[in-house]
Homo-oligomer: A and B are copies of this chain.
Amino acid sequence: MSSMCRRTNPRSSRTGRPRSTEADTAILEATRAALVELGWSKLTMGDVAGRAGVAKTTLYRRWANKSELVVDAVAVLFDELELPDLGSLQADIEHVVLQFAALLERPETKTALMAVVAESTRDEPLRERIRASIVDRQKRLVLEGRMRAQRRGELPADRDPVAVDATDDLIFDVIAGAVVHRALVSAEPVDEPWVARLSALLVGGLGAAAAALG
C-alpha cells in the first residue's frame, strides 16, 4: 500500500483518463457479433472496431492480437454452464453434456474455440489465458458432480487424494474432449441417445474402477 504500488496492477493507475468500460463491453459484444457473421478467419480488427464504434487503436491498447481478444469475448459464455442436482450421477452428466453441446452449437463458440486452441500451440501467453479464462473454470463442474455422487453413495469416498485429482482431470478431458470431437470433428449431432450412451459408459467405468479397488 505504499505510494508506488503501481506496476503490479496497471488498471489501478490513479492518474490520467480511465479506460472506458463501455468501450470494453462494446468491443467484446462486437467481437461475438463478428464471429457469428464472419467466423474466425474473416474477422478483422478493423471490422470489430467499426462495429463497436471505437478506433482500431483502442483495440490494440487492450489486446495484443485477434486471439486474445476472441478468448475474452467467448470466455464469458462458458460461465453459463450449471450443474443442477438431478438425483443421479448419470442424470447430472447428461444434463451438463447437453448444455455444453448447446454451447458448442452457437456459431461464436463453434468457430472460435478450436481456432484459439490451435493458435495457442505456438503462443504460450495465449495458452495460459485460455486455461485461466475457460478451461480451469469449468473443472468445477466435475468436482461438484463427483462430490455429489459420493454423497449419494454412487461413488466411494476418497482414499488417495492424488488419485482423485487425476480422475477428476481425466473425466474432464474425456467429457469435454468427446463432446468437442463429436460436434466439431465428426460433425455429428450431440443428441440425447448419444449423450445417454456416453454417460452410461462413464458411470459404468467409474463404477467398475470403484469395484476393482473395493
A8 to chain B, nearest CB (A): 26
Indicate if A64 sits at the interface (CB-CB under 8 A): no
Binds B, one of A21-29, A49-57, A177-185: A177-185
Chain A 161-202: CB-based contact to B (< 8 A → 1; otherwise 0): 000001101101110111111101111100001100110111
Find out whether the CB atom of B198 lies under 8 angstroms from the CB atom of A169.
Answer: no
Q: Hey, which chain B residues are within 8 Å of A113, CB to CB?
A: 118
Interface centre among A111, A117, A118, A170 (most CB of B within 10 A): A118
Q: Which of B40, B127, B178, B188 contacts A177 (CB 8 A)?
A: B178
Q: Which residue of B lies closest to A134 (CB)?
A: B185
Find out whether the CB atom of B170 lies under 8 angstroms from the CB atom of A198.
Answer: yes
Taking CB atoms and an 8 Å cut-off, the chain A residues in 114-135 that contact chain B are 114-115, 117-122, 127, 130-131, 135
Indicate if A46 sits at the interface (CB-CB under 8 A): no
We find that the number of chain A residues with CB closer than 8 angstroms to chain B is: 54
Indicate if A12 sits at the interface (CB-CB under 8 A): no
Find out whether the CB atom of B209 lies under 8 angstroms from the CB atom of A204.
Answer: yes
A188 to B173: give the CA distance in the assembly, Å: 10
Find out whether the CB atom of A39 lies under 8 angstroms from the CB atom of B122.
Answer: yes
Q: Which residue of B lies closest to A65 (CB)?
A: B41
Q: Which of B111, B131, B202 contacts A201 (CB 8 A)?
A: B202
A69 to chain B, nearest CB (A): 15
Find out whether the CB atom of A169 lies under 8 angstroms from the CB atom of B188.
Answer: yes
Q: Which residue of B lies closest to A193 (CB)?
A: B166
Q: Hey, which chain B residues are within 8 Å of A119, CB to CB?
A: 40-41, 115
